[in-house]
Amino acid sequence: MWCFAWISLRCENGVLPRRLCPLDEWATLGAVACGKEILFFLNNMTASAPSESDIDGVTWDFLVDCFLVLKRDADERYYHYLRLKRSSSSGERQQPNAQDPDPDAVLSRFTGLEGCAKLSKPE
């Protein structure tokens, strides 16, 4: 999903412009540094929003909905980690790790968004 977001925010009409973009750095960073940039982006979406000339409104609305899904997921994982850490320090037994979610279920979290349907409609 982050690759889709990067491409959507970076390309204009399917073409990578020659000018530099703040998101260009994402392609050159290591995984940890890129993750930090993504979290900063998620927490500062209003400041990071592209101008209307950079991306069409339908695509931006869909991306914001996707970012909210990703942010909620990241927050849930973080709070789950904090609970596990607290449980282990108090001597409580930790829950086993959950299995990886079904890829179709994960994808449906994005394809089920209203903006996805709008993007899929022919003009």
pLDDT, block means (10 residues), the chain with 123 residues: 75 69 78 87 74 72 86 85 81 56 78 83 66
Alpha helices in the chain (DSSP H): 2-10, 31-43, 45-48, 57-89, 103-111, 114-120
What's the CA gap between 17 and 39, in Å, rounded? 25
Question: What pLDDT was estimated at residue 32?
Answer: 93
Closest by alpha carbon to 21, among 44, 40, 48?
48
Question: What pLDDT was estimated at residue 76?
Answer: 86
Residue type, 7: I
What's the CA gap between 41 and 6, in Å, rounded? 11
Rounded-to-5 percentages of helix, strand, coil across the chain:
65, 0, 35
Question: What pLDDT was estimated at residue 52?
Answer: 59
What's the CA gap between 8 and 23, in Å, rounded? 11
Contact 113, 62 (CB under 8 A): yes
Question: What pLDDT was estimated at residue 107?
Answer: 80
Question: What pLDDT was estimated at residue 23?
Answer: 72
